[in-house]
Every structure is written in C-alpha cells, then in structure tokens.
Structure 1
Amino acid sequence: MTAPPPPPPPSASAPAPEPAHIFTPFTRTGTDPSSAVYQLPNPPQSQSSIPSLKAFIRNFTSSSISLKSYAAPQLYMVLPRLQCLQFSVNRYNDGVRTPSDEFELYWKRRTLNWLSGVGYQVKDATEEIVIEGLDEIIKDLEEVYHEEISDAREAISNGLIIFDALGELYKCDVPLQGRTNLGGTNAVFMLTDAYYEEHRSLVGMEKSFHFTLDFIVSVGNHFTVVSFTEVLSRWMGVNSRSITDLSYVPVSPSLLPSLKARGKKYLEYGTGGAKFVAYSPHTFFIHSTPRSTTSLSSSSRQSVLPSGGRVMIDSARGAELGHHASQGVDEPTQAMITRAGQYRRLINTSSSSSSSKSITPSSDALPLWTTIPEGLQIYTWPALVGFSFTAKSWGHVLVSSLHPITFQHTAFDNLVLSEDRKQLIRALVKFGSDPDTEDIISNKRGGSIFLLHGPPGVGKTLTAEAISELLERPLYYVSMGELGLTPDEMERRLTDVLELCAEWNALVLLDEADIFLEKRSTADIVRNAMVVIMLRLLEYHPGILFLTTNRVRTFDPAFESRVTVALHYPDLDFEARKQVWRNLMGRVKVEVEGEIDYDRLARRELNGRQIKNAVRLAVALGR
C-alpha cells in the first residue's frame, strides 16, 4: 500500500497578492516641442489630502477639470510659473527644517498663498510640502526645449534677449532692478510669478509676458510687502534687443554690497519713530503744494532739491498726511499708494488701542513686520518719506544719501554775547526742554518763549540756530509771510507748525514778528484777531520758541507777559565787530597771506550779516 501524496504548500493554495498601484503624476509622448504631449491623470482619492501637480497646471493654464492632456507649448508657456512655485516650495521646506525670521515673515505666507490658489490648506505648518511630479515635469520640459533654452542662455550671455527667452532672463532666485522716477535710482524687486499668455485680437494672436514683483516698504510704524504685475507685449521689428533696453534687468553681483547697506539703513530709519538726519544734494524730492494750502499737510507734484540739508524721517506722520515715498503713475508707485491706503484703513479699524504704535494689527491680506530679515533687506524701496527743514516741505529722500548730522556744538560758544547772557540762555533752554515743567492747568506745558529784538545783523537768528545745534534738535524757521493774511489761514498754518514741532521736539523761530508784537489798536480788527490767535497757540505750545523783531516801538502787554525772557541786541560795537571778523575768518578754508588787521576791519561800522557777505566775497575772489 502506497502512502498518499503530501498536501500542496500553503502558498500554492491561495492566489498571489496584486502589486500596489503606483500613481504617476504625468507621462509624455513625443520628443520634440511640436509633437510632445503630456498626460496628467487625476490623482487617486487616497492622495486628495496633498496638493497635486494637475491642480496647479489646470490653474496655471485656466483649463477645465476634465482636460487630461496638454501639448508641450501649452506647458512651456507656464514653465516660469512652475519654476517660481518650485522655488517657493523649496524655500518653505528649508524653513521647516531650519526656522528663521525670513521663513516666518515671508516664505511661509508666500508659499501658502500658492497652495490656497488651488484650494489646498496646510494643516500642519511644521511638515514639508511635497508636490509629486513638480520637479520632474520641470526637468522634462527643459529637456524637450533644450535647444531653445540653450539658444536663449547664449543670447543672454551676450547681452541680448528675444521675447520668447524672457522666462530664462527673469528667474525667481535672481533679484531684478528696475527704473524708478527717483532721479535715476533703481529699486530692487523679487520675482514671484511669471508666465506667457496668448489672446486673440483684431490683428490675430498676440503673445504677452506677465511677471509679478515684490518689494518692501515702510507704511508708518510697520513694514509690509508690496506686489505689482508688469506686462510685456511681444515687440515688433527686430527679433532680439539689448537686455539693457528692458525696464527690469538682473542685479549685478557687484552691486549687492551697496544694496545690502542701503537695506540696513532703510531698516534703521523706516520705522521706530521720527529720525533727524542729514541728506546729500539732489536727493530730496519736494512734494510741492498749491499756494492755497500749507506744505505741512498736502502734496501734489514733485521736484528735486539741489542742495543738501536736514530732514525728519517720519513715515508714520507722512502716511497720515497722504505723503508717499514716490509720486507718479508707474506700477510700483501706484501699488505702494494702494498698500498705504490699506494700512491706514486697517489701523483705523483694527484695535481699540488709542495708539497704533503699540500694536501690530493683524490682517490676512496685509502682512505687517516690525523688522526686515537680513536676506530681504535688498528689496526695500530706495526712498523714505520725510520733512525737509531746508525746503520746509514734505517729500521723499533717497535712503542711500542719509547720514548722521554733524552738529556744530561750538556755534553757541562763538556767539558774540556776554557770558552772563549765554549762561542765562543755556539754563533757560534746558529748563524749557524739561517735560516735567507744567503749569497749574495740566495741558499748559512749560515751554519757553524767547523775544530777541534789535537791529538787523546783530545775531538774533544766529542765536536760535546756535541753540538748536547745542541741543541737537531741529529748528523750524517761519516767516510771517508764510502764515497767510487772514486769521483762519494763520490759525491753520501756525497750528500745523506748532503741532509738528511739538511732536518732533523741534525749536520754532518766528522771524520778523513785528505785526504781532507791537501794541494793538482798536482800529485794526483783523490784526487784533490774529494776535489773539497767536497768543492762544503760544500759550499751549510745550517747546522752545523764538520771536525776532527789529522795529517794534512799543510791545503789546499780552505778549510781554508770555515771554520767558526778552533779549535786546544792540548794534555791534568795535569789540563785537572784531570778534565777528575773527570767528568768520577762522572758518575760512583758503590760505590767507600775511597778518589780518582785525582792528582795521572792525573800524567799519558793519553788522554781522554784512561782515559775513564780505568774507564770502573775499573768499570767492581769492580762489
């Protein structure tokens, strides 16, 4: 009897499991641009929680959800856009691995905006983003268009560009510099999106290149990102043109050190309160005003100031008054103005806090920063809003020209005044600068009013200028003609001046104030009204104010009671004229032959202004 056969092995009794299906984001048929076709199947349901390549391509090409195949030229037109998406995702993932301010403030938001555009929301911002097939399809398109891309890169290396090669010139990892209306100064921008588009017109199919740029501006007490889009139509005539003819060109690496320095300076002056600094000639652009309005509170057109001077950088106050760091109808300027308007509306409606300086309002549409990451500082706008004390006007000034003020501390010591008077003035200005000196009435602050009276050219204005140098504070010079001819006009303009100077801790000089200081009469009703307004405004001004006059016969008692100290400046005597000659000649930067006979010079009865003019003329003739 034979034994029964052994049972079959267990594996043979059950069918083998089928291999798991591997999803392929795309496939291609054809090898050249004219024949290549890309198939993009819908991702399986199991991958619905991750962003799909097809969703982005459908969004970029504005195609229907049912479309599954795309001709190579159709995808090549959005290749720059795919590359921008890839660059943004890579920077996002770098930030996930190594967190930084740049990631938190910029790249995180920018990348999540890409994803939200296709309806995807990131649930865990600590995980890397993976778009299956994105890197591969970019590489594949570059292989299909290898010849075109090689030709484009060769032309670019020779300084030439054809329209279809703009996608190779404008890259997300290369900063772009563009022309502005800031006296030839270029701004630097970051490319965030780019693509070609075709549309039908009366003359047939027209092709255009769209690209979106970002830059950083100060909108008051915060920094924010401004975006705008430029469109280039296919140029007619010659096929290629010089790259330098374009409005936006890649930044030369040799410029990066100076751009970084400019960005650091922008960060220093852009927010954090008003900054009193100096600027170089031909760098301040005046926001000119109509004659009917004061330059303190409105703006229209701009002109460049040929001289240098001192400026109060105050983006917050400038924004409140409607001043911006550029004027014009170009895309960057208009985008900046729109952004500033969004910021003001947000500030006005955001918090119940009484001061926007103490809060950082939140808005999904408006990113607000209190600092600028180092890697993004080159993208700051090249100008800031400020008030020039030289031009007595709001405007914008080039950041690269700003530098600390060299105050002339010896100017006060060189005043031709007695030491007793100098000690009195020094004590009073320091007392007048003390915020703790208040009146019995709480809102009547302890300001100081100096009345300086005497003939022309004896040092009245120079005294105010020397004190401002001693205190390292601005001096706002106001002539009576600037205040208008009616009580209402004068009240509005003088209120603007005093409020601004109080906020900036600036000294005020009201020059030739004879009309207000002279004793009033019952016949001149308009003048009496103006004097009353002046008295009321000066009563509540907390700072230091100088009134100068040279021909008042009798002082109004109301003004006499409000003046902290009145200083009479007599005509310069022999010794005073001699000292003025010595002071002015001591600052002459030309070689003087022989000994100067100061006694002979001082015998001529000249005032200080006439002596200064004589020295200037002598220096000019001696060169």
Structure 2
Amino acid sequence: MAIDSDAPTMAAASDTAKKPIAKDSNTPTESEDEEIKYAKPGTLCGVHNVYQTKPDENEETSWSKDLPETIIDPAEDAESAQYALIVRNVKCYDGRKSLSIHSIVIQSEFLKTFLGKVLEGYPGITVTLERLEFTAPFKPLVHRWEDFLKAREEEELDETTKEHVDLLHKILEEELRDILARKKDLIRNGVITHSLLWTLFEPDDVVIATVGGRRNAYLFTDDAINCRTKAIILEVKFVEFDGDDFGYSDDRFEVPVFIGTTPITSLPAFPLRYHPDKESIRESLIARGKVWEQHKGYHYKQYEGTATGFLDDDKTKKFHVKSRIIIDTEAFNVFHPHKSIWVWGDLPEELTDEHRLVASSSVWGYSLRDKEWLRFHLDGTSEIQWNSAAFDSLVLPKEQENLKDLILAFAKSHSMSSFDDVVQGKGRGIIMQLSGPPGVGKTMTAESVAEVMQVPLYAMSAGDLGSEAYKVENNLKDILRMIPKWGAVLLLDEADVFMEARTSADLQRNELVSIFLRMLEYYEGILFLTTNRADEIDPAFESRIHVSLAYQNLDFTSRRHVWCQFLARSANTEVFSEEELDRLAAVELNGRQIKNMLKTAGLLAWSQKKDLNIEHVQTVLTLRKSAKPA
C-alpha cells in the first residue's frame, strides 16, 4: 500500500492500496501471470499507515494494515466547539450514580473571564488559554469554591456570563456536592480524613510544622501519594540562603495512612489558618525571620544546643554543641560540598514579611570546638561575651612581661598591613613560634590574642592533620584557605612533628616538613606555632618565623599570681591567707596543673557541700604527691 504525501483519509488509503500502479513509474504492478513487483526500499514519497490490533489472550498486540473495526470519529470537532463547556464522562462504580465527570473543557470566553477573578493567583492555572481544562477531582475549584459562590452572587454579571456561570455551577455542584459537604462538616469539627486531606491544602498556603521542637512555616506546593505505603507526601518550600542569594529550598512531610478522622492540628504539617492562635504565630515567625535575615554572610557567635551534621551517605548525626561557631553558608558549601546548600527562585536582597514568615530557622557553619560543619538552630546562637582582661591575665616571668606587648603589636599590625612579597601572594602572614615546657602559657597566649582582637581562634594539633602526606596537605589547604577568610587566629599546638629538622633516616617525616614549609609561604593570616623542642626545629623555619619566644618554667612569683587568678574565678580568695598562698606557690606546678588542682578541689568541696578552702586544695596536693612514683 503506497499513499502520497497529501495524506488521504483512511478509507481512501485503503482503496489506493488495491489499485494497480503503472509500470513506468517504478512502482509495483501485477497481472494474472506475474508476481507483484515493488519499488526499491525507501524510494516512494508517501506514508504507509498500520494500526494496532486488539490484545490477544496474552495481552499482546501487533500491527495490521487493516483499519480497526471499532474506530470512531473524534468527539471534539466544529460541532462541539459551539458549546460553552465540554464535559467528559466516565463510568462510575460507587453505586450512587452511573457516570462521573472525568474532566471539563471551558470554551466560553465569558466563563474564562469570570474564572480569572475566582482563581486569581492560583499556581498552575492560566485562564486565557484557548483550551482551559480541569480534571477530576477539580482541586482548584474545590479550593476556591467559596470564592466561586461569592463571585456568582455578588458580582454584576451580564446576562450571557450569568447563564454560563449558572451552567458551570449546576454541573460542579452536582458533581462535587458530596466532597464539598463532607469537607465543610469535617472542618467545622476541626478534623479531616486521609482521603480528603488534599481539600485542606491550596498551593502557596502557609503551612506550619514542628521540627526538632521548633515551629517552622512553609509554603505548600503540591501533594503526592507514596505508591508503596499509600501515605500522602506534602511537598513544601521555604526561604533559604545559599551564601550569595536568598531563594527557595524544598522539603516534604509524610502523612501516614490513618483510619477515620484526625484533628487537623495533629497533622505533621497543616495550614496556618486552622491554628487557633494563627495571628500571634504569624507575628513571632516574621520576627524570627527578621533575625535570621540578619545572619546572612559571615558571623562569629556563641552557640549552645543541638546541631546536625551530615555524613557522606546522606545520613545525619546529632551533636550537642557548646562552643563558639562561625556562621558562613558560603564556606559551608566550599568545604562541605557533598551537602551544599542551593536555592531556586528570584527573591529580593531585602526580604518582605511574607518571605520572613517562611524563612528557615537554621544557619550553616562551623563549630570551632567540635571541628565540624553543622546546621545550627538560630535560637541557640548568642553574642560572644568577650574577656577583655584575657591578655592581662597571661602570666609570664617578670623579665618577659614586655614580650606580651610585642606579640599583641605584631598581631594587630597584621590586620592593617598590605605588605606583599616579590611573588604576589607570598609572605603575607604573621608566624609566631612559642616554645617552652608544658603549662607555661604558650596556648593561652594565642587564646588571649584572639580574645583581645575579638576574632575566632582556630586551634588544632598535629593529630588533627593526620600523618600521611597527602592527607596532611589536603587538610592544610582547607584550613589555610578558611582561616584568613574569617580573619581568625590559627594555633597549631605541639607542631614539633612538622618542624623537626629533616634527616636522611626518615623520608616520610621529611615530606611532611616540606609540605608544611611550602604551605606557610602562602599563608595570609596570623599563626601561632607551639613546640616543646625549639632547639630541634628545621633551619628552614628560621626565615619564615617572624617572632620566636621561649617561655621558661613559672617561678614562685608567677605561680602565686596564677593561683590568685584561678582562685578569683572559682572561690573567695579572702578565705586563703597570704601564708597559705605562699605555701601553694612554693609547690612547683605549671599553670595547667594549678588549674586542674583547683578544679579537683572544687569538686571535693561540692561533694562535701562546703565552700572551697585550703584543706580541700591541700588534700588534692597530698593525693598528687602520693600518686607520684618514688
């Protein structure tokens, strides 16, 4: 069967196939004495139609040249186009009626104009389309049914529009009567059934949910059915910040199948309008959104509470954090790429109250104590209470007191300096080496500098970086990129393994030292290196270290000062006489040991329900002395 490109009707095509085709046209011919001859494959300019057959006993189909006997003319044509509405009906099996409406096509321009007002702002509906179609269960019309009735009664409609609206109302009222009545009755009683849950949620409804003990608001977008569990999935969006811009992020809540009715307010998420205290909730969420909006960009805060960490397999881990934190979504995305924060949509740089209402209640950043990238709850953050006396409380032997001013001067000058090396990007950092025995104030020096400058302190040890060369290099790269971005002070405690002189006997450690030296060349921040073995460091460090300070063991005067300082924080120093303080200072302890002695003595006093006194401290000192090996 060959059909020309003018595409004749199916009947004509069938007739064409039966006609002999002229031999001189290179097409098949037939006679009583010779077989049909066909043109070369693909050479005829035409269309060959085939038709799918009915399924056989195995529910399989094939293709045939013959037109199906059950073929019917299309239902929509010039005749159907005359009518205001096309209503498609299907068989109904609920026992109450024989037919139900599958869909309605709105063809009346009068109706389109009317529905444009009723459905204004309803997502996904464009009433000006030439073909405006609604499909059962007619969600937009169920959601806006009260608006439909109000507009039908109150608006001044011309005669034709009123006739068309009345016609649509009659059809919908008959079809939706049961759903609308049940919805009204359920809402009046403050409950809902699982099957009619969809009637509560209109796209862009403000819905509220309690997550992690905190109330959040979202905008409803859509619902879906979990095919396996039959639970209803409520898809929502909320305002988030990706480090550069505000936008929307998506979330979802699952409503498991339940029997009978359940209170609307007991759902995992429900429209705010059904809450009895909706106005005060709205105000409080907008107020929180304003605070959240102010936390975009970089912020240094105190935090106490739970936080969420994200593992590589998309699982989460809870942390209890009591630490200073860096809020920085941009850095979170850079250094935590497997769970980066992204948004969609175009929102203004300054949010409106409607945006603030559905803003996130979380911020993203880094816990300095836990060394973890986490999601923090906004209500767990607070302003840092700076210890302005931290640097003054640093105790050094009298002949070294002037070194404190030198250290602080170097640190402060770095923030104002624009010095650069011959090679751009090199030599911009300030590196200070602090050497000496344990407990003499090396670590506290770095802590005090950060406190006075009111900047973050990032403290780490060699163990945090690892021992394998490639891990050390990768970890250092991230840290040395991160710290200058925050203007932080970096403390590498017990850095001996990276600074010890290279030898031919330990090639692996030599590689670690070389990597560390190379990284220091391009570091742009303030770095404190502490070591207990200053005389064993590699000579190459001498040209990279700006200040090198050697701390000595605390003398009597320094120890007495330390005892007084710690006692002033934990007890009434007037309880201790001058003689008792002298006796304590006479014991050769370093600063860390003194702090631990007082902490233990304080626990002993607490267990006895007494104020801390010299007897408690003496008991701990005696225990320490008896525990020391002979």
Question: Common fold, TM-score beyond 0.5?
Answer: yes
Cross-structure match for 2:220: 191
Letter in 2 for 1:451: Q
Matches within 5 A, 1:242-391: 242-243=263-264, 245-251=266-272, 252-253=277-278, 254-270=280-296, 273-282=297-306, 284-288=307-311, 301-323=315-337, 340=342, 366-391=345-370
Cross-structure match for 2:261: 240
Cross-structure match for 1:402: 381
The Cα of 1:518 is off from its aligned counterpart by 2.6
Cross-structure match for 2:590: 607
Deviation by residue 1:221-269 (Cα, 9 ceiling, x = unmatched): 0111134566757x35x31124454221345534444423331222111
| Distance change in 2, residues 1:80/1:268 (3 Å) | farther
The Cα of 1:480 is off from its aligned counterpart by 0.7
| Distance change in 2, residues 1:133/1:551 (3 Å) | farther
Query: How far, CA to CA, are the matches of 1:479 and 1:372 in structure 2?
Result: 42
- Match among 172, 180, 189 for residue 155 of structure 1: 189
Deviation by residue 1:500-531 (Cα, 9 ceiling, x = unmatched): 11222211111111123332222222222221
Query: 3-state DSSP class of the match of 1:561?
Result: coil
Cross-structure match for 2:550: 568
Deviation by residue 1:356-406 (Cα, 9 ceiling, x = unmatched): xxxxxxxxx742542321222121122222111111121111122122222
Letter in 2 for 1:458: V
Query: 3-state DSSP class of the match of 1:476?
Result: strand
| Distance change in 2, residues 1:425/1:232 (3 Å) | closer
Cross-structure match for 1:541: 523
**Is the 1:502–1:543 Cα contact (8 Å) retained in structure 2?**
yes
The Cα of 1:439 is off from its aligned counterpart by 2.4
Matches within 5 A, 1:192-211: 192-193=221-222, 211=234
- Match among 521, 529, 548 for residue 503 of structure 2: 521
**Is the 1:53–1:133 Cα contact (8 Å) retained in structure 2?**
no
| Distance change in 2, residues 1:140/1:571 (3 Å) | same
| Distance change in 2, residues 1:445/1:80 (3 Å) | farther
Cross-structure match for 2:568: 586
- Match among 208, 213, 225 for residue 177 of structure 1: 208
CA-based RMSD: 4.4
Query: 3-state DSSP class of the match of 1:622?
Result: helix
The Cα of 1:41 is off from its aligned counterpart by 5.2
Letter in 1 for 2:237: D
Query: 3-state DSSP class of the match of 2:542?
Result: helix
1:617 aligned onto 2:600: yes
Letter in 1 for 2:581: Y
Cross-structure match for 2:238: 215
What is the TM-score of this pair, normalised by structure 2? 0.66
Query: 3-state DSSP class of the match of 1:370?
Result: coil
Deviation by residue 1:262-282 (Cα, 9 ceiling, x = unmatched): 312221113xx3222221132
Query: 3-state DSSP class of the match of 2:433?
Result: strand
Query: How far, CA to CA, are the matches of 1:85 and 1:528 in structure 2?
Result: 78
Query: How far, CA to CA, are the matches of 1:242 and 1:222 in structure 2?
Result: 38
The Cα of 1:428 is off from its aligned counterpart by 0.7
Query: How far, CA to CA, are the matches of 1:585 and 1:436 in structure 2?
Result: 43
Letter in 2 for 1:599: D
Structure 2 unaligned segments of length 5 or more: list them.
Answer: 1-82, 88-95, 149-163, 607-630
Cross-structure match for 1:469: 451
Q: Which has the larger radius of gyration?
A: 2
Letter in 1 for 2:261: S
Cross-structure match for 2:628: none
**Is the 1:323–1:394 Cα contact (8 Å) retained in structure 2?**
no
| Distance change in 2, residues 1:211/1:557 (3 Å) | closer
Cross-structure match for 1:451: 433
Cross-structure match for 2:466: 484
- Aligned pair count reads 483
| Distance change in 2, residues 1:312/1:208 (3 Å) | closer
Deviation by residue 1:397-416 (Cα, 9 ceiling, x = unmatched): 11221222222121011101
Matches within 5 A, 1:20-39: none
The Cα of 1:477 is off from its aligned counterpart by 1.2
Letter in 1 for 2:476: L
Structure 1 unaligned segments of length 5 or more: list them.
Answer: 1-22, 28-32, 87-131, 290-298, 328-336, 344-364
| Distance change in 2, residues 1:78/1:442 (3 Å) | closer
| Distance change in 2, residues 1:399/1:76 (3 Å) | same
Letter in 1 for 2:186: A
- Return the structure number with greater relative CO, CA threshold 8 A, min gap 6: 1
**Is the 2:118–2:147 Cα contact (8 Å) retained in structure 1?**
no
**Is the 2:111–2:165 Cα contact (8 Å) retained in structure 1?**
no
| Distance change in 2, residues 1:138/1:608 (3 Å) | farther
Letter in 2 for 1:421: L
| Distance change in 2, residues 1:46/1:580 (3 Å) | closer
Cross-structure match for 1:224: 247
Query: How far, CA to CA, are the matches of 1:469 and 1:54 in structure 2?
Result: 59
- Residue identity over aligned pairs, in percent, reads 30
**Is the 1:212–1:230 Cα contact (8 Å) retained in structure 2?**
yes
